[in-house]
Amino acid sequence: MHSDKIPTLSSKARLKFDQARQKPVLLYPEGLLFLNQTAYKILLLCDGKRKVDEIVTELSKEYSIDRVAVEKDVWDFILTLCEKGFIQLN
């Protein structure tokens, strides 16, 4: 895995906050995906400017969690959403 990759939301996905349910969601043409706060935070950081390495550093500091554990979880999440076409890695 290349930590210098820059993730960004694909054009078919939109990050929103569902007011009715008071939850963050990822909208896409076929439906929506409810997000927990950590997933929401990761997607907010997938802004097309930050490298995965920078996202991992920010999250490990914010949540005071071991960087190695955060990196694995972030990559797992990003790669899963890449497979679904919701994130692109540049």
Question: Which of 5-42 are b and which e, b meaning 16 or more Cβ less than 10 Å from the residue's Cβ?
Answer: ebbebeeebeeeeeeeeeebbbebeeeeeebeeeebbb
* Domain count of the fold of the chain: 1
- CATH number of the domain enclosing 43: 1.10.10.1150
2 domain residue, yes or no: no
Give pLDDT tens digits for 10-44: 999 999 999 999 999 999 998 999 999 999 999 99
* Interatomic CA distance for residues 51 and 89, integer angstroms: 9
Got the DSSP string for 42-75? HHHH-BSSS-HHHHHHHHHHHHT--HHHHHHHHH
Domain that holds residue 27: 7-89
1 domain residue, yes or no: no
28 domain residue, yes or no: yes
Give pLDDT tens digits for 58-78: 999 999 999 998 999 999 999
Amino acid at 72: K
User: Is the full-model pTM beyond 0.85?
Assistant: yes
